[in-house]
Structure 1
Amino acid sequence: MLRSMFSAISGLRAHQTKMDVTSNNIANVNTVGFKSSQTVFQDTLSQVLRGGGQPAADRGGTNPAQVGLGTKLAGITTNWTQGATQSTGRSTDFMIEGDGFFVVQGPGGEQLFTRAGSFDFDANGNLVTPDGSILQGWVADANGVVNANGPVESLRVPYGAMVDPTATTAGSITGNVPSDVVDATSFQLGADMYDSQGVLQKVAYNFTKTGDNNWDVSVVHSDGTVLMAPTGIVFDAEGNLTTPAGPDFELAPFTPVGYPSWTNEVTMSLAGLTQFGGANTLAAPKPDGYALGSLQSFTLGNDGTIMGVYSNGLRQPLGQLALASFNNPSGLEKAGNSTFRVGDNSGVAMIGLAAQGGRGVLNAGALEMSNVDLSEEFTGLIVAQRGFQANSRVITASDEILQDLVNLKR
């Protein structure tokens, strides 16, 4: 049989594979996080008809005469370029901008990796993929602290979860009291505090000028009860606070009296308070402490932190998403459902925080679309079709030659 026929058969097989890969790319043109693939061909072993010869004194060297035996598939490579961004507005849609993969727990507890960031909640509050794989990360403790050095675990957002109230223990006053006002001038500043049971207590900070560079500060409840008796504070000639002493400029702690559910001390800091000529710019940043609350919603930061928003105004981390990177992403094995598993040539999964160690940043409310280029794929279809067609013509021509050979004897 003619070698050309078998070479053409290998060409048919190779171009059929190219058609398969191209058709799969086109089928996934709208698949979230899909990465297109390309086929790479290489020639097979060649038959040596005449070996090469070295140059001699009386003649030159000769090159080998070789006939190729066709083509074969060298590999199917993956295009890891970034896909287009599609804004969805869903808080559970996450997109990786840059390198990296989401870590999910698949069926049977297998650790898988994906670029598709379309997640939702299951009945237990877990963040899951459409096929039920659970998103992995680090869960925050009761104080909102995330330990990213520990093992990853399933992430969940416990909607409706209650957070216990916390009493106010510290407050602060900043800004400027005007130096060019007469003695006995007063300024008042309102603030909200919480007692040991989380009950809102409205208070006022009162400033009264008692002399040059001298003021009295007191804390009064909205019902008129004096919580902290007037305490003198002193500024120097340049308008800087000298009493109480720095660096924290804290007044002596006071314990509210007359309120059975308010048993803790409260410390007031005057750091940042000045006395310059001009307007009154006193401000009271919200003191610590909060009432009983329940989880209402969450937001995602670019570093993967899931920040819970509670009904009492508290914002506290619930957990942090984990991202994985690989030395050779092309060595990953496709596991279906837009996921990958560690392959023999991918290297180990390096799991860590977003925006660190070469891993990309996260974007909430958006998805990464497929990076398939239709114009390139349709061009690939034409190339595959013509390659298949040309190889089929070689088989036809080889068959006609064999027919002529058979017809030599009638």
Structure 2
Amino acid sequence: MLRSMYAGVSGMKAHMDKMDVVSNNISNVNTVGYKGSRATFKTMFSQMIQGASAPQGGRGGTNPQQIGLGTSLGSIDKDMGQGSLQSTGRNQDLAIEGEGFFVVSNGISQRYTRSGTLSKDENGYLVNSTTGYRVRGWQADANGDINTNGELEGLTLKQNMPAESTTEVTYGGNLDAAAANGEQWNTSFESYDSQGGLHKVDLRFTKNAANTWDYEVTHIEDKQGDVEYDISGTHAADTNNTTGTVAFNGDGSYDAANSNIPGNLEFNPQYEDDGAATPVSIDLDFSNMTQNYKEMTADRDTVNGYKAGSLVDYTFDSTGTITGEYDNGMRQTIGQVALASFNNPGGLASEGQTMFRVSNNSGAPKIGAPASGGLGNIKSGSLEMSNVDLSRQFTEMITTQRGFQANSKTISTSDQILQELVNLKR
């Protein structure tokens, strides 16, 4: 009789454990990146009353007679299925569509999470807003290239973009073939030096023969209007290759063979601190120009170089690549978020704050770039919500409650039987 009571106790305890799992699922129904759990039971030892016997002669065998000693918690399994994605409209909120976990670190240990609530900290690091753990990935080099085979590091958002000196100016448009010798056409372009200083360069085309135009730089000044070069001779000693010839074929196309471009236009920026910027050297490219019988439209097509800038925003694409937007109008690749996958993600050990750590049964993390090697895509402006099915959890709660009640009834009934046995001796 004591067996039935202890079996009931074990059943009540197991159902209490299951209720703990169900209640935790329900409490996290709105937790970003939460993965639900499921409790299962297993039988405990069975007491052998009589062993099995084999058939003998004309008599059949008998099955073993065993009485179970109750139940216990068998497993708590994680449901690693995809949760629904909720749009937030915030570019720094990331969701993973498919397999993988974000890799985060506190500087001592590495953890994994599906929660993509990201922000920038005081030092410019990309961090998980919930935990403050730094998001790990690969930093881009000075050219914006990313080596996803390199070591992971905490991603920093490049706060400042240094200035880049102008090195190439491409001209396009048309010079009128009907222009008389000596007719002129004036253009200008803006260039930058190594400190980001702006310089306006005036350039004039003068027709000197059929299909031939001379060009000359007539004036250079900085953004304050201070003259750095003038055709009259100002600072002429510091300026090189200010003149040349542009030739055209009979069909109006550029004639490289008969053009005379002596070399890069070079000038020294004039600063009060006496030459803090390096000399500017610009390759003037006229190969996109034409000479046809139509109006003058010759002008610069493209000018590289830019002033220094400060980060104003950053975005993520589907591969987790981070692009910074700067107040100088430029965009630059900053880095790329890494994802981790596991042979057995259900074997990961849960920690607080919706994080997981490696366990003996999860397998080692396999690091890769999003949208590659079976890893999911990154969806910016969305968060992955909890994958808990609330209606199913309420059903589980009801059946768990009834199971607990049934086991408690087993104990009370066993107690009544024991009471009857006691009452036999009066």
TM range, smaller chain: 0.7 to 0.9
- The aligned residue for residue 125 of structure 1 is 124
Q: Bigger shift: 14-23 or 2-11?
A: 2-11
Q: Unaligned 5+ residue runs, structure 2? A: 221-229, 232-240, 271-278
Q: 2:335 aligns with which of 310, 315, 319?
A: 319
* TM-score, normalised via structure 2 length: 0.78
Q: Number of paired residues?
A: 395
Given that 1:201 and 1:221 are in contact with CA atoms closer than 8 Å, whether structure 2 keeps it comes out as: no
Report whether the alignment pairs 1:302 with 2:300: no
Superposed CA deviations along residues 387-409 of structure 1, whole A, max 9, x for unmatched, are: 10111111111111111222222
Superposed CA deviations along residues 19-63 of structure 1, whole A, max 9, x for unmatched, are: 000110111111111111111112223223333344455344433
Report whether the alignment pairs 1:386 with 2:385: no
Q: 1:233 to 1:353 in 2, by over 3 A?
A: farther
Q: 1:221 to 1:367 in 2, by over 3 A?
A: farther
Q: 1:263 aligns with which of 269, 280, 287?
A: 280
Matched position secondary structure for 1:396? helix
- The aligned residue for residue 196 of structure 2 is 198
- The aligned residue for residue 169 of structure 1 is 167
Name the CA distance, whole Å, in 1 between partners of 2:51 and 2:145: 73
Given that 1:183 and 1:209 are in contact with CA atoms closer than 8 Å, whether structure 2 keeps it comes out as: no
Q: 1:196 to 1:117 in 2, by over 3 A?
A: closer
The one-letter code sitting in structure 1 at the alignment partner of 2:247 is G
Identity of aligned residues (%): 45
Q: 1:60 to 1:253 in 2, by over 3 A?
A: farther
The one-letter code sitting in structure 2 at the alignment partner of 1:256 is L
* Deviation (angstroms), 1:385: 0.4
Q: 1:72 to 1:210 in 2, by over 3 A?
A: farther
Matched position secondary structure for 2:15? helix
* Deviation (angstroms), 1:304: 1.5
Q: 2:373 aligns with which of 357, 369, 374?
A: 357
Name the CA distance, whole Å, in 1 between partners of 2:282 and 2:383: 49
- The aligned residue for residue 10 of structure 2 is 10
Superposed CA deviations along residues 105-124 of structure 1, whole A, max 9, x for unmatched, are: 13x61111111111233322
The one-letter code sitting in structure 2 at the alignment partner of 1:42 is K
Q: 1:210 to 1:183 in 2, by over 3 A?
A: farther
- The aligned residue for residue 232 of structure 1 is 247
Given that 1:83 and 1:370 are in contact with CA atoms closer than 8 Å, whether structure 2 keeps it comes out as: yes
The one-letter code sitting in structure 2 at the alignment partner of 1:367 is L
RMSD over equivalenced CA pairs, Å: 3.8
Q: 1:207 to 1:326 in 2, by over 3 A?
A: farther
* Deviation (angstroms), 1:376: 1.0
* Structure with max Cα Rg: 2
- The aligned residue for residue 81 of structure 1 is 81
* TM-score, normalised via structure 1 length: 0.81
The residue correspondences of 1:34-49 to structure 2 (distance < 5 A) are 34-49=34-49
The residue correspondences of 1:6-405 to structure 2 (distance < 5 A) are 6-56=6-56, 58-106=58-106, 109-129=108-128, 130-159=130-159, 161=160, 163-172=161-170, 183-184=178-179, 192-201=190-199, 227=242, 229-234=244-249, 244=256, 254-256=263-265, 260=269, 263-266=280-283, 268=285, 270=287, 286-405=302-421
Q: Unaligned 5+ residue runs, structure 1? A: none
* Deviation (angstroms), 1:171: 4.3
